[in-house]
Structure 1
Amino acid sequence: MAAKDRMAVLAAMMDQSIIPVFYDPDVEVCKNVIQACANGGAKCIEFTNRGDFASHVFFEVTKHFAKADPSVIMGVGSIVEAPTAGIYIANGAKFIVGPMLNAEVAKVCNRRGIPYSPGCGSATEIGYAQELGCEIVKVFPGSSVGGPEFVKAVMGPMPWTRIMPTGGVEPDEASLRKWFGAGIVACGIGSNLITKELLKAKDYAGIEKRVAETIALVKKIKAELAAK
C-alpha cells in the first residue's frame, strides 16, 4: 500500500474497523502513541485538528512515519472548511474526517483522490454526502443522533450506505456488538481507547495492547455476524 491511493485507504479503514482518534501538542507523544496503535494493528489513525499549530505537529509526525513506518496511514479529523483540508492534504493526510458536511471540502478531496468522511446526523445529510462522492459517512455525534438504532433505520432504505460513527462507541463487546450488528463498517474511538490514564503514565505498551485487543474483538464480532 505504498501509494496509499483512495481505494486502498478506504479498504484499509474498513478492514481495520477501529480508527483511533488522537491529538497531543507534543510531537514525540504523538509519534509514540501512533506507533503503539500501528503495532496493535491500527495503521489508519485520525489525528484531530485541535489546538494551536496542530497542522505543524501533524506535518512533523507524518514526515516521521513516511520513513520510520510507511505502513501508517495518517488521516485528519475535525476539518470544517476547504482551506484547512488543503493544508493537511499538502502535509500528507490520506483521509479527511469532519464533524459536519461541507461541499467545498468534498470537492478538494475528490480533486486530490482523498477519502472524505463528513459528520452527518440525518438521512438527508447522508444522502447529500453520497451525492458529493463520500464512500464512508461519519455519523456524529454517534450516540446523540440515535446510536445503533439510527444506523439500523438508515440502512433499511439505504443499504448501500457505509457508516462510521464517532462519539458514544465504547471499546467493549456489548457496545461494539450493537454498533457492528446495526451495520457500521468502522468506528472512530478517542479517549475511550487511548485513555488519559495510559497517556499520563506514558504506557505505550498498554496502548498497543488495548488497541490490539479491541481490533481482535471486532474481527471476532464481524466474523460471527457474517456467519449468521
Structure 2
Amino acid sequence: MAAKDRMAVLSAMMDQSVIPVFYHPDVELCKDVIQACANGGAKCVEFTNRGDFAADVFFQVTKYFAKADPSVIMGVGSICDAPTAGIYIANGAKFVVGPLLNADVAKVCNRRGIPYSPGCGSATEIGDAQELGVEIVKVFPGSSVGGPEFVKSVMGPMPWTRIMPTGGVEPTEESLRKWFGAGIVACGVGSNLITKKLLDAKDFKGIEENVRQTIALVKRIKAELAGK
C-alpha cells in the first residue's frame, strides 16, 4: 500500500533519495512515465504544477494510480500559494514542493499532515521554513545559490537540516557524490533523468532503466559515505 501519513512519506522520500520531477499535459503519457519511474524504484514522483489544467491532469493520474498501483506516492511541485496547494491536496497529493517559501502553504500542509518542501536560497529562509514545521527543505535553484558548497556551509551551523536540492543536480556519479557528500538527504531531478529524447521516443523502458541506475548509484554513494 502507498505511504499515507506524513512521517511515512518523508521516510520514503529520504530512502528513495532521488525524486523524479515531471510534467506533461498528456494524461496517458504521464501514466506511462510515472509507472516507469515506479518500476525503476522511484515510487515518490513530483508532478509539477505547470501549464493549463495541470491540476486536472494530476487528478486523473493520481486517481488512476490509486487503483492501478497504490504504492505510487504522488507529490506536486511548483506550488506558490495556499489555494493551489489545497486543490492538489484534495486531488491526492501526498507531498507539496515549491520554488519559494510561503507561510500560508505551510499552514495548509501542516493542517492536513502533508510534508511541505519550500524552495530556500539562504540560511535565514531555511531557518524560517524550519520554524514553520518544514522537515525537508528544498534548495532552489540548487546550482545558482552555491551548489554543494552552499549545503556544506549551512550544515556546519545547522546540522539538523535536511536538504533536497532541485536544479543543477545531474544523474552522474560526479554530481551526485558532490551533493550527497555535502550532506543532502534527497534531490529532485527532472529533464536530466526523464530526458526529452526518451520522452519523444516514448521509450518508457529507457526511463525505467535511467531511474533504476540512478537510484542504485545513489545508494552506493550513500553507503560509501556512511562507511567513512
| Class of the TM-score when normalised by the shorter of the 2 chains | over 0.9
Deviation digits for residues 93-140 of structure 1 (CA, Å, limit 9, x no counterpart): 000000000000000000000000000000000000000000000000
TM-score by length of 2: 0.99
Match of 1:106 in 2: 106
Q: How far is 1:4 from its partner?
A: 1.3
Q: Which aligned pairs between 1:131-210 and structure 2 lie closer than 5 A?
A: 131-210=131-210
- Aligned-residue identity in percent: 86
CA distance in 1, matches of 2:223, 2:34: 27
Match of 2:74 in 1: 74
CA distance in 1, matches of 2:209, 2:23: 19
CA distance in 2, matches of 1:34, 1:2: 14
CA distance in 1, matches of 2:134, 2:44: 18
Deviation digits for residues 184-222 of structure 1 (CA, Å, limit 9, x no counterpart): 000000000000000000000000000000000000000
Amino acid corresponding to residue 186 of structure 2 in structure 1: A
Residue ranges of structure 1 left out of the alignment (5+ in a row)? none
CA distance in 2, matches of 1:117, 1:207: 25
Residue ranges of structure 2 left out of the alignment (5+ in a row)? none
CA distance in 2, matches of 1:171, 1:39: 18
Q: Which aligned pairs between 1:80-95 and structure 2 lie closer than 5 A?
A: 80-95=80-95
CA distance in 1, matches of 2:170, 2:80: 25
CA distance in 1, matches of 2:186, 2:167: 12
SS of residue paired to 1:138: strand
CA distance in 2, matches of 1:2, 1:68: 12
Deviation digits for residues 166-193 of structure 1 (CA, Å, limit 9, x no counterpart): 0000000000000000000000000000
Where in structure 1 do 4 or more consecutive aligned residues deviate above 4 Å? none
Amino acid corresponding to residue 192 of structure 1 in structure 2: N
Amino acid corresponding to residue 181 of structure 1 in structure 2: G
